[in-house]
Amino acid sequence: MTSENTLDDEDTFKILIATDIHLGYLEKDAVRGNDTFNTFDEILKCAKQNQVDFILLGGDLFHENKPSRRCLHSCISLLRKYCMGDTPILFDVLSDQAVNFSNSKFPWVNYQDENLNISIPVFSVHGNHDDPTGADGLCALDLLSSAGLVNHFGRSQSVERIEISPVLLQKGSTKLALYGIGSIPDERLYRMFVNNQVTMLRPKEDQDQWFNLFTIHQNRSKHGATNYIPEQFLDDFLDLVVWGHEHECLINPSRNEQRLFYVTQPGSSVATSLSPGEAVKKHIGLLRVKGRKMNLQKIPLHTVRQFFIQDLVLSEHPDLFNPDMPKVNQRVEAFCQEKVEAMIEEAERDRLGNPLTPEKPLIRLRVDYSGGFEAFNATRFSQKFVEQVANPKDVVHFIRQKEYKAKVKGEEDVDFGQLLSHSSTEGLRVEDLVKEYFQTAEKTVQLSLLTEQGMGKAVQEYVDKEEKDAIEELIRYQLEKTQRHLQQRGVLTEEEIDQEIRRFRESKKNTAEEDEEVQVALNRAKAHRIERGDAPEDLDLSDEPDVSMDSDEDSAPPPPTRGRGRGGRGRGQTTARRGRGAAEPKPAGRARSQKVNPTQGRSIMDAFQAPPKRPSRGAVAAKSYTDEITIDDDDSDDVSFVKPASRLTPASRPTQRASSSSSSSSRRGSQSQSQSCRGVTFDDDDDEEDFDPFKGSSRSGRR
């Protein structure tokens, strides 16, 4: 038996994973215009050479929401060149494809289409650069889907609740549940996770036998309080998360110790910003899955343009120059030129022996000129390297030493279990939230004139009925009333005024007088609105502002994208093998699995529970799945789903997995949560030598 047969038997899924290809980036640039297309060609060629079962893309296949004709033409040509052919497809789709691809005019996987000859299926979610927009909610991936070249999944249009239904695949004895969610504005998705409005549906039967693979395209690093998605938000039954959108290549799987799954971040295949994260060598991954074990082999990309970046702090070289020296600018410029020339020489040495690598590298020198130095002419300086670098206009970039803000409470200090343990806020009143806020706020921001109840009711009117003057009128009315009270009492000193205001405020709490004041203020606000002729407008949550994704703090921001993350319906309520009738066989000579008629699919929507209010994630200490709905069907391949009744919080989770298979504690019920059950290994070498992907812990990655 050959080594290849040993590695890739009939039970092993081979999946090529890549994210953020950004086709069309700088396509009009004379030097860099073909970079994205050359690298995409290399990725598809690698998939064909390794005879993968399918390609999994993590979003941002295109750089623009409306790619140019040249960009679309090149993409379609490459997909047709490498992904169409007579090679048999060796895995089956068991889920209800009408649910998985509900937004497509052809809601079935492309290789089962009788009119197409697909040898390598491509599954992809959309990113923030190529997300659905417009009245029809279409994106470039939908064009490729209609052409039968890409299977676009993971769309969700709802701004209230998301149910992620997996694409269920089986190859031999290996069962793979492929989950995906396209790009959604981070603040919105963060809020939905906190409110328990995101549900991942699971197969009802044999849950412990499925390998759960999840693809997401969101901020992973923290850009703000809610402008990212913490890994702890994701369900703990997942085995591997493929994280798109982040461009730094961190493809080696890292283990999340709270949720006990692994995360791989392939990064982008092209440098779209001259930041340190983009300078990391670019890779794609070859994922092998057999049963519940996986192996990830990283494969270096050779067609990616080299990128070298260095930081130079002038104040750290007092022996060479200081601001008081004569002609210090000339000295600094000469020193910078030496640095740039050294990087160019390093790039040339690194490129030798690799004819696929473009000749001109990307060079960036970031110069910190704080401490009294002055910046020299960057444009004139860059012109010296026009024939040597691919970015002659911005070789040098001047920065000043940043003023570091006080340390913000980091992610490691946040109790996500407690955050997610709150049930949906649908049952909470706005005034209750306002009262809770001011009870826990610092004394310096406590209300002085208003009561929490009055402020809460005013905010409620503003939120529910859009009485825009409600808060202002309440403050104005209460201020007038307090002033009259103070005049009647005849208080004069500042201390007496403060004491009397507090007494006056406390005397009205939870009384009819307080309710009367609020009602008077609301009536005033309503009267003002009627005088102006204004009418409350309906809120449009679909037009939330986009979130900037550029992590390069020192580079000019990229043009704003129009993505709003309006995916598909995300109904994801049932999945089962499509009950299609028999189709005409393919002509002889095509060694393919038999295709079925996609027009006779049988929906099994009743296989899912109706979406109840999502339970608290931290309510119980062990997982349970209840209220299962069965299907009366003779087809043994039909698969039904249930919703998880609860989630484990980090606090209730065991601190480590049992190393023995006889351990009674489990994350999925009866199955042990030992690391050997995961069987996770990955290849850390850049070569492509044969290896045993499921050898054991000796090849395992970092824990």
What is the tens place of the pLDDT at every residue in 630-641? Answer: 333 444 444 545
- Within a domain: 131: yes
Q: Is the pLDDT of residue 182 over 90?
A: yes
pLDDT band at 450 (very low <50, low <70, confident <90, very high): low
What is the CB neighbour count within 10 angstroms for residue 275?
A: 20
Q: Do residues 265 and 17 make contact, with C-beta atoms less than 8 angstroms apart?
A: no
Indicate the pTM of the whole model.
Answer: 0.65
Q: Say if 620 falls within a structural domain.
A: no
Calculate the CA 329 to chain-centre distance: 45
pLDDT at 149: 97
Q: Identify the top-confidence range among 116-125, 351-360, 481-490.
A: 116-125
Out of 300, 319, 338, a domain closes at 300
What is the arithmetic mean of pLDDT over 666-676? 40
Helix (H, G, I), strand (E, B) or coil at 505: helix
**Domain limit, last residue, from 529, 554, 580:** 529
227 or 134: whose pLDDT is higher?
227
Is residue 129 annotated as a catalytic residue, yes or no?
yes
Residues 6+ apart with CB under 8 A from 532: none
Per-residue pLDDT, averaged over 391-404, amounts to: 82
Q: What's the rounded Cα separation, in Å, for the pair 686 and 298? A: 7
CB distance 572 to 584 below 8 Å: no
Q: Are residues 57 and 131 in the same domain?
A: yes
CB 199 within 8 A of CB 261: no
Q: What are the phi and psi torsion angles at 62 (to 5°)?
A: -110, 150
Q: Is residue 180 part of a domain?
A: yes
- 291 lies in the same domain as 364: no
Of 133-137, 258-262, 457-461, 646-650, minimum mean pLDDT range = 646-650
N residues, the chain: 703
The residue range of the domain holding 506 is 448-529
Calpha distance 256→262 (Å, rounded): 6
Closest CA relative to residue 149, chosen from 170, 177, 121, 174:
121
Looking at the fold, whether 188 and 257 belong to one and the same domain comes out as yes
**CATH number, position 167:** 3.60.21.10
**Higher per-residue confidence, 253 vs 669:** 253
d(CA 243, CA 240): 10
Distances (CA, A) of 569 to 104, 159, 195, 231, 578: 11, 10, 19, 24, 20
Q: Are the C-beta atoms of 159 and 541 separated by less than 8 Å?
A: yes
Q: Which residue did the predictor score with more confidence, 195 or 481?
A: 195
Query: Quick check: 75 pLDDT over 60?
Result: yes
* Closest C-alpha among 471, 466, 497, 473 to residue 483: 497
**What is the C-alpha to C-alpha distance for residues 223 and 384, in angstroms, rounded to an integer?**
37
Total of domains in the chain: 3
Q: Identify the pLDDT of residue 582.
A: 39
The Cα diameter of the chain in Å comes to 103
Please report which confidence band the pLDDT of residue 590 belongs to, taking 50, 70 and 90 as the band edges: very low
Query: What phi, psi does 398 have (nearest 5°)?
Result: -90, 135
Q: Are residues 117 and 260 in the same domain?
A: yes
pLDDT at 172 over 60: yes
Instruction: Say which range, 58-62, 451-455, 637-641, has the weakest mean pLDDT.
Output: 637-641
Q: What is the CATH number of the domain that holds 320?
A: 3.30.110.110
- In the chain, % of residues over pLDDT 70: 65
Residue 643 lies in a domain: no
pLDDT at residue 518 tops 70: yes
* Cα 591 to Cα 88: distance, rounded to the nearest angstrom: 5
> Is 218 a domain residue?
yes
Q: Which of 477-491, 511-525, 529-543, 668-682 has the lowest mean pLDDT?
A: 668-682
Does residue 489 share a domain with residue 347? no
User: Mean of the pLDDT values across residues 244-269?
Assistant: 97
Read off the pLDDT of each residue in 566-591 and give the average, rounded to a whole number.
40
Identify whether residues 270 and 356 lie together within a single domain. Answer: no
- Name the 3-class secondary structure at 446: coil
- For residue 520, tell me if it sits in a domain: yes
Q: Is the pLDDT of residue 655 over 60?
A: no
Most confident of 4-18, 275-289, 471-485: 275-289
**Could you tell me if residue 69 is inside a domain?**
yes
Mean pLDDT over 182-199 rounds to 94
Q: Binning pLDDT at 50, 70 and 90, where does residue 223 land?
A: confident
3 state DSSP class of 12: strand
Write the CB contacts of 131 (distance below 8 Å, at least 6 apart in sequence). 65, 139, 182, 183, 563, 564, 565, 566, 567
Q: 381 lies in a domain?
A: yes
Amino acid 87: pLDDT: 95
pLDDT value at 46 more than 50: yes
Torsions phi, psi for 21 (to 5 deg): -80, -30
Residues 241 and 127 in one domain: yes
State the catalytic residue, choosing from 22, 129, 217, 247: 129
Q: Are 195 and 316 in the same domain? A: no
**Same domain (yes/no): 143, 194:** yes
320 and 389 co-located in one domain: yes
Residues 457 and 474 in one domain: yes
Judge whether residue 557 has pLDDT over 70: no
Percent of the chain surpassing pLDDT 90? 51
Q: What is the pLDDT of residue 48?
A: 97
**Higher pLDDT among residues 560 and 250, named by residue:** 250
Asked if the model's pLDDT at residue 61 lies above 70, the reply is yes
> Which of the listed residues 384, 399, 414 is the one where a domain comes to its end?
399
Q: What is the pLDDT of residue 510?
A: 66
Q: What rounded mean pLDDT belongs to the chain?
A: 76
Report pLDDT digits (tens) over 339-352: 999 999 999 999 98
User: Are 12 and 72 found together in one domain?
Assistant: yes
Q: How far apart are CA 323 and CA 139, in angstroms?
A: 54
